[in-house]
Amino acid sequence: WNRTFPAGFAAAACALAFTISGLAQQQQPPDVTAQGSMTPAGYTDIVVTAPRMDVPYKEAPGATTVVADDTLQTMPKAIAPGEALALVPGIRVDTQYDSEKSHISIRGQGILTERGVRGIQVLLDGIPLNDPSGFAPDLYDVDWSTVKRIEVIRGPSGAFYGGGSSAGVVNIITKDGRSEPDVADLSVDGGSNKFWKALGEFSGKTDSMDYRLSGSRSMGDGNRDHSAFFSTNLYGKFRFVVTPSFQLNAVVMGTSYFNENPEGPNKDQVRENPDQANPDSAKQNEFAQTRRFTAGLVGTAKLAVNQDLNFTVYGRKTDFTESVPSTVQHRTLNNPGAMIQ
């Protein structure tokens, strides 16, 4: 069963991000409220609004797909990227154990690893989820129920986004308090394998700022033995209009994700019972747990007509614990970052 008490719906909006390196970039004057609908007649009414350069959709170079609100509202569980990106051509998402753990590739590129992906630049409200090596360890920070639109650029995009985007870019924009009525919503979903998810959202605005806060808790048993998971997501986005020519967005996010690891059974075990866990993983109680906190600022300043200065500064701390047959591994990673364009 699946029952959702609907939140305030965001208007269908589309965006695509491109950048020109250097301290200043030329671009059309931004229209932060630009919206459009994908119609069979074409995309001429869509203005792409993103951290790089605003261009009409029909003029955007490269193979680009925008996943809008009408598609995102139909996600049955909203816990993994496979639901949001299922209809995007050229992208493959492998979701493991019916949980949040996923692998992503674009046009066959993006090195699949035991956790995460390389070669795909992932942005969440302008803040990169990739580490300095270009590796995005996971997408646990994203609560897909709160996403407003997703832009997917297929193919090398290093000139715009750096070396971590050799396969493409996934740019994720969440809902905000600016383009929607003030809301205070609660939704609850449930399903098979003891799955359930609860989500609370709260947003508002004043003349000079707007905000949106969300928190969710989800868990399930997975579709195999010893594949249970649970997660907590907290997210806050605040926009400040400091002056008519200077806008600042503050983002804070925290996530905690735990999943049991059933490992892969051999072919005889699959014939016997494809849902069983590898005996070693269950006996040794193999699991992985990620705790992460990120805070960042994304700003845009108009220097002159058709001249904007964009900057991003953020800090991230990740605590990762993994139990394997011989030991329990602990890693703490601190990842500050900054960008100016």
Residues whose CB falls within 8 Å of the CB of residue 283, separated by 6 or more in sequence, listed in order: none
Q: What is the pLDDT of residue 56?
A: 61
Global pTM exceeds 0.85? no
* Residue 6: pLDDT over 60: no
Of 292, 261, 251, give the one whose Cα is nearest residue 123. Answer: 251
Query: What is the C-alpha separation between 328 and 159, in angstroms, rounded?
Result: 40
Confidence grade of residue 54 (pLDDT, cut at 50, 70, 90): low
Locate the DSSP E strands across 79-228. Answer: 91-95, 102-106, 117-118, 120-124, 127-128, 135-136, 147-154, 168-174, 183-191, 195-205, 209-220
- pLDDT at residue 111, rounded to an integer: 60
CA 252, distance to chain mean position in Å, is 14
180 residue type, one letter: E
Cα separation values, 35 from 89, 148, 182, Å: 23, 12, 19
Q: Please give the structure tokens belonging to residue 155.
A: 């193919």
Provide the pLDDT for residue 222: 85
Structure tokens at 217: 């808790």
Task: Give, rounded to a whole angstrom, the gap between the first and last alpha carbons of the chain.
Answer: 48
Question: Distance of CA 94 to CAs 91, 113, 125, 147, 248, Å?
Answer: 10, 11, 24, 20, 36
**72-88: average pLDDT:** 82
Q: How confident is the model at residue 24 (pLDDT cuts 50, 70, 90)?
A: very low
- Residue 19 pLDDT: 36
pLDDT tens digit string along 209-262?
999 999 999 999 988 888 899 999 999 999 999 998 999 999 999 999 999 888
Q: Residue 320 belongs to what H/E stretch?
A: strand 307-324
pLDDT for the residue 233: 96
Q: Going by C-beta distance under 8 Å and a sequence separation of 6 or more, which residues neighbour residue 228?
A: 219, 220, 221, 222, 259, 260
List, for residues 155-213, the tens digit of each pLDDT value.
777 777 777 787 888 899 999 888 777 888 998 989 888 999 999 999 999 888 999 99
pLDDT at position 36: 37
